[in-house]
Amino acid sequence: MARRYFGTDGVRGRVGEHPMTVDFALRLASAAARVLAPQGGGTVLIGKDTRVSGYLFESALEAGFVAAGVNVKLIGPLPTPGIAYMTQRLGCNFGVVISASHNAFEDNGIKFFDGAGAKLSDAIEEAIEAIIDEPPVTRDSRQLGRAVRLEKAIDDYGAFCRGTLPPGMNLEGMKVVVDCANGAGYKVAPRVLADLGAEIIPIGCSPNGRNINAGCGSTAPDLLQLTVLGTQSHVGIALDGDGDRLVMVDHLGRLVDGDQLLFILARARHAAGALPGPVVGTLMSNLGLEQSLTRLGIPFRRAAVGDRYVLAVLREEGGVLGGETSGHLLCLDRTTTGDGLVSALQVLAVMQETGQSLAQLASDMPKYPQVMINVRTPQRLDVNGNAAIQAATAAAERRLAAAGRVVLRASGTEPVIRVMVEASDLETAQREAETLAAVVRAAV
């Protein structure tokens, strides 16, 4: 069944445009309640990021769940992984996050976790979609759910994050710039780092409902790079708007992306004999990551783009470590879902254990230059079914041979076709990417 609304990370879109409207959110809550709590009863945890539109979707979802007989716990702004953790900790039947992650404030989204803090399966999302166009259910007064707003969730989640470090370890002596993208991590991330003894310099920690991801965070790390250099800090940490992604900056002001962070964690766990199964990346993971892991004798697998697919391969093959170039890392030996703050703590732990800087740790993974061009598409385009695009892709692959890769795919979160070319030098990657992007634009 082709899914109409759920993408790689829930339902997402421009606020006020279908499906991100109040009436759709109400119907989505009602449909989810009938699938996930078919007899009524049960409890859902609802959290959000800092977007101003979060208030309206929170109210609509609350109404839909309560009307369907499901109890609601409202947790307010907290990183997506924190909501996953608290769903499990509080014994809720499922959890809901209101967030559009790294997108601008004009967008918003709704995504779900099951009672174990894991993302819903495709089959469950399809079951929800199958009844989403039906009118919302309203049970009689005796069967209605109740709603309550929780306090101190940040304290519980912060304690969990601190507990992912090795016993007795702290961050004393580290000067850390932390950029929370004016998003969901703006309170908890600085607090956790400070509690562990780090000297912190917070930026992107003053949300106003409209500045989430605006010139800050993991998708716009320029300010972080300048701040690390200007303050002579040891390291910089950048989360995205909902706190599930991480990129870092070394003391020289250089960006360290998800592939490099994954390599650092994999090598450290491998050396400690604590790396079962393969490391899992995606189709977009840098060829340098694969080659560097192979040299260490660490098996590497590629999944489709999206952390849910990385997670599926990890579970199938018994792995614990995987992620995406964008910084969505999975440390299943620490938590159930991608968590930017937990991932950052794992990297900081490696720095403390080895006495090496982030620059030194990242230097052992050479990166192939990658060029990504996003081609906007007003309508759905099947790149695999277009003869011109396939011919141009095959020609590029022949020219690159073993010294590069080509990936074309439709984004699961934005109306774009992503054209990525990887080559041994930047000039070649740029030329091939522009050639392919021109073909895709012509097809659009």
Q: How far apart are CA 45 and CA 32, in angstroms?
A: 13
| The pair of three-digit structure tokens given for residue 228, joined into one six-digit string | 């690390």
Closest CA to 416 of 383, 389, 368: 383
Q: Is 201 left (phi over 0), alpha (psi -120 to 50) or beta?
A: beta
Q: Please indicate whether residue 30 is annotated as part of the active site.
A: no
Residues 408 and 396 sit within 8 Å (Cβ to Cβ): no
From residue 309, give the alpha-carbon distance in Å to each of 23, 164, 240, 318: 30, 24, 20, 14
Torsion of CA 20, 23, 27, 33, to 10 degrees: 80
Q: Map tokens 């339902």 to a residue.
A: 11
Q: How far apart are CA 415 and CA 24, in angstroms?
A: 20
Q: Is 121 left (phi over 0), alpha (psi -120 to 50) or beta?
A: beta
Exposed / middle / buried, residue 399 (Cβ in 10 Å: 0-12, 13-18, 19+)? middle
Is 213 strand, coil or helix?
A: coil
Q: Which of 101, 218, 233, 343 is the catalytic position?
A: 101
Is 227 strand, coil or helix?
A: helix
Is 328 strand, coil or helix?
A: coil
Q: How far apart are CA 28 and CA 22, in angstroms?
A: 10
- Give the catalytic positions in this structure: 101
